[in-house]
Amino acid sequence: MKNLLILCAMTLFCGCSVINGPICSTEPEEAAFKITDSKLAAVLHFADGKANLSKHDLKVIKDVAQRANQDNANVIVYGHASHHTRTKDPIQRMIVNIDVSNERATNTAKALINAGVPAEKINSVAMFDSRPVREEITRADQAANRRSEIYLYWFE
């Protein structure tokens, strides 16, 4: 999981487009495979500090699993957290947000497996609060950032 987290963080932050084992590269000739297409399949939202999935979330996951299997897609789940935590200490805030975003990604991935997606086709990544979709001015903004994003992707 540590290698995957580093790999995906590198992919997101350095703009790498190809993957070679646990190493991300910008050079296509060095890659073991190249991602050819990806699409956002679903976004699930969570209560503050929680990572449990609702009945509605499980229904969405069932639909995503059916699409993934039908299209022979791989799946990556990104777990996110809002910047807001009960602690003001920046190190503790990061630890809390890494933990909760990991739980969100892991719970979503496990539900996809339970819905029939083969485990070897799923990766999950804890993004903590590094990729907000909104600046957190209101509670609604915070709520928008507490999420799991499920992407389908294909490679050659």
Mind listing the pLDDT tens digit for each residue in 83-112?
Answer: 877 777 888 888 888 999 999 999 999 999
User: What six digits make up the tokens of 139?
Assistant: 């509670």
Q: Closest Cα partner for 83 from 148, 133, 42?
A: 133
Can you give the residue ranges of every domain in the chain?
A: 1-31, 36-155
Q: Closest Cα partner for 78 from 31, 39, 126?
A: 126
Q: Closest Cα partner for 22 from 32, 12, 34?
A: 32
Q: Considering just the CA atoms, what is the radius of gyration of the chain in Å? A: 16
pLDDT of 28 over the 70 cut: no
Per DSSP, 130 falls in state S
| pLDDT at res. 31 | 53
Contact 46, 62 (CB under 8 A): no
| pLDDT at res. 65 | 98
Does the domain at residues 36-155 carry the CATH identifier 3.30.1330.60? yes
pTM of the complete model = 0.78
**What is the DSSP track for 40-109?**
EEEEEE--TT--PPPHHHHHHHHHHHHHHHHTT-EEEEEE---S--S---HHHHHHHHHHHHHHHHHHHH
pLDDT of 153 over the 50 cut: yes
| pLDDT at res. 78 | 95
Q: Closest Cα partner for 53 from 107, 98, 95?
A: 107
Phi, psi torsion values for 123, nearest 5 degrees: -125, 150
Higher-confidence position of 20 and 120: 120
Q: Which of 35-49, 57-71, 77-91, 114-128 has the lowest mean pLDDT?
A: 77-91
